Amino acid sequence: MMKKALFLLINCCVTAMLFSQSEMTKYTIVENKADRKVDILANGKIFTSYIYPTSLKKPVLYPIRTSAGTPITRGWPMDPRPNERADHPHHVGLWFNYGNVNGYDFWNNSDSIAEDKKQGYGTIVHRRINKITQGGDHAALDVSMDWQDPNGKNLLRQNTCYDFSGTGNERVINLTIQLTALNQDVFFKDSKEGLLGMRMARELELPSLIPERYTDANGNVTDVPILNNEGVSGNYISSTGKQGDSVWATRAEWVKLTGKIKEEKISVTIFDDPGNVGYPTYWHARGYGLFAANPLGQSALSNGKEALNFTLRSGKSITFRYKIAILSE
């Protein structure tokens, strides 16, 4: 009887250990310098990639996938998928930039900008990978990049740590982003075009009811037409209880986007950090798939009731932190 009890105890312990190991998600990172990208894998399958091709005006995470392997970010213009919107070519994956930095527009820059207008736009250039940590239940990628004016002068140094984790049907990205002003003061004039942004897959957009027309800070107009809403099921929900298009231009500690891609229920939540300037952030969250947190555009997003016009003095640094949680059911 005692031997049987001991066997059962050992068997239960082994079973529990095997179950625990099978549930753990192992994260690894693979650099591919030739293709100008770094792949982040969860249990050997692509979760996302840090990419910095010359065709983009900033490094981004693209594409981002659920635990089931489903892309939650729009494919166009990098890898178009059927029925997607073909607007805002600067909306690629997950990015961090701003629409008015010392008068230069970093947010709207892309290869689509006319040659005679390029002097008004800034570019963020990947510089180096500082450190890669991998092999356990999370992996971290630490990179540096420079914010350059149109003449190639560096205004800001950006050091970003992307920490990837999550087990089972959850995937998590924690971002720590430090900006340092180089050699001069840097002014972030209030603009609705910022700061941390994602462009979501068509299925996670809100169903479109009317055609829309959007004008950026430079006066460029983008028409967003009504498309077939079949399979489109997105909805924003904020920490304050606001939903749908009502989330735009409101403050909240977090916003969750819910929807389905085929039969997979998906939620994507962006959490602002209490230590961030402008907390709780304003949300530049649009029904057509732009999902962005913008703490710096307070005048633009409050219709002039508030103002920030943040300044980073020469040699000084500021840090932003965000968490993105992706759940699949």
In angstroms, the CA 99 to CA 91 distance is: 13
pLDDT in tens, 239-288: 999 999 999 999 999 999 999 999 999 999 999 999 999 999 999 999 99
Count of the separate structural domains present in the chain: 1
Task: Tell me what pLDDT residue 121 has.
Answer: 98
Mean pLDDT across the chain: 92
pLDDT in tens, 181-233: 999 999 999 999 999 999 999 999 999 877 767 666 566 777 777 778 999 99
Residue 70: which of 266, 307, 308 has the closest Cα?
Answer: 266
pLDDT in tens, 11-57: 433 333 333 444 789 999 999 999 999 999 999 999 999 999 999 99
Tell which wins on pLDDT, 275 or 4. 275
Task: Tell me what pLDDT residue 17 has.
Answer: 37
Looking up residue 247, the CATH number of its domain turns out to be 2.70.98
The two tokens of residue 152 are 């190639």
175 Cβ partners below 8 Å, 6+ apart?
96, 160, 161, 162, 163, 196, 320, 321, 322, 323, 324
Task: Tell me what pLDDT residue 12 has.
Answer: 37
Task: Tell me what pLDDT residue 21 has.
Answer: 44
Residue 139 contacts residue 159 (beta carbons within 8 Å) = no
Domain hosting residue 291, numbered range: 2-328
pTM of the model: 0.90
Task: Tell me what pLDDT residue 14 has.
Answer: 37
Task: Tell me what pLDDT residue 6 has.
Answer: 38
Phi-psi region of 76 (alpha: psi -120 to 50; beta: other; left: phi over 0): beta
Which residue stretches of the chain are H helix?
2-23, 298-301
Residue 292: which of 200, 171, 228 has the closest Cα?
Answer: 200
